[in-house]
Amino acid sequence: MNLILLGPPGAGKGTQAKRLEDRHGLVQLSTGDMLRAVVASGAPLGQQAKEIMAAGKLMPDELMIEMIADRISQPDCAAGFILDGFPRTVPQAEALDRMLEEKGLKLDHVIEMKVDDAALVERITGRYTCSKCGRGYHDTFQKPAVEGVCDACGSTEFSRRADDNAETVTTRLAAYHKQTAPILPYYQARGVLEAVDGMADIDEVTGQIEALLKDKAA
Ligand code: AP5
């Protein structure tokens, strides 16, 4: 099963992708995480990525297309993958179609996570992750069972993303509406677009996604 989670910054794509990964044995392909790994590695591309991400703008299409083409060719993707953060422009969506066709693969689900802009700033500015295992949390919506201790690995070190501030979120949202939202009619026209209410609580959103997966599998 190959699927795309689409939605604005903070919609819950990463949160739900992690759950689907655990439940269905799929691989989460988060282009944001890939770029943050490049930045952390100190590779030459890292400086450009760091500046663009900090400004809340999008990286060049060719680069992102090459990154995903390389990633989905790897053996661990054979059992299925969840795209989280890609495609983000119509040229990326078109390139993905060509990539999948070449490999004889198809998209089983393109799921839009609908969330009001007003809720996104609160979600993003309250987000933090475990520095050791990467598990995601939120100051209000997703706290660890024991304050200050990661549920998954017991670490007490956490970090926040450099682009998770109110100012950058505004630019990221504008980029979403201008450059990414046009993907929705692209997939709608192909009859593969589905949607969930991303304003619901985290477990409920998972339930809605699972229902879509089950419906199509039936
Ligand atoms: P990326 O890392 O992809 O960021 P994003 O799309 O802005 O998405 P986020 O990771 O911020 O949000 P999310 O939807 O995963 O939400 P989450 O589950 O964490 O990209 C970063 C940058 O990289 C881009 O700005 C761009 O520069 C570059 N980039 C990446 N891909 C690119 C591409 N293809 N082309 C060009 N450039 C690219 O949830 C957020 C918070 O809310 C969490 O704390 C969570 O606990 C909480 N939460 C989640 N769901 C709920 C819920 N239902 N109710 C309440 N709280 C919730």
**18-52 tens-digit pLDDT:** 999 989 999 999 999 999 999 999 998 999 999 99
For 33, the 3-state DSSP assignment is helix
Task: Report the residue among 70, 142, 177, 178 best suited for mutation to probe ligand 1: largest number of ligand atoms under 8 A from its CB.
Answer: 142
Instruction: Give the pLDDT band (50/70/90) at residue 115.
Output: very high
**Whole-angstrom distance, CA of residue 218 vs CA of residue 214:** 6
Mean pLDDT score, 82-90 = 98
Q: Could you confirm whether 88 is annotated as catalytic? A: yes
In this structure, the residue with its CA closest to atom 7 of ligand 1 is 9
C-alpha closest to that of 203 among 15, 23, 10, 6: 15
216 pLDDT more than 80: no
Phi, psi of 202 (to 5 degrees): -55, -45
Task: Provide the percentage of residues in the chain whose pLDDT is more than 90.
Answer: 94
9 pLDDT more than 90: yes
188 pLDDT more than 80: yes
Say if residue 144 is preceded by a cis peptide, omega within 30 of 0.
no
Q: Could you confirm whether 127 is annotated as catalytic? A: yes
Complex ipTM: 0.97
pLDDT of residue 215: 81
Helix axes 61-72, 90-103, angle to 10 degrees: 30
**Whole-angstrom distance, CA of residue 139 vs CA of residue 147:** 10
Average pLDDT value for the chain: 95
173 pLDDT more than 90: yes
Backbone region of residue 87 per phi and psi (left: phi > 0; alpha: psi in -120 to 50; beta: other values): beta
14 pLDDT more than 80: yes
Q: Exposed, middle or buried by CB within 10 Å (0-12, 13-18, 19+), for 157? A: exposed
The radius of gyration of the chain's CA atoms, rounded to the nearest angstrom, is 17
pLDDT of residue 22: 87
Phi, psi of 141 (to 5 degrees): -90, -20
pLDDT of residue 93: 98
Q: Could you confirm whether 123 is annotated as catalytic? A: no
185 pLDDT more than 90: yes
Mean pLDDT score, 170-198 = 96
Ligand 1 proximity of 7 Cβ (cutoff 6 Å): yes
Ligand 1 proximity of 141 Cβ (cutoff 6 Å): yes
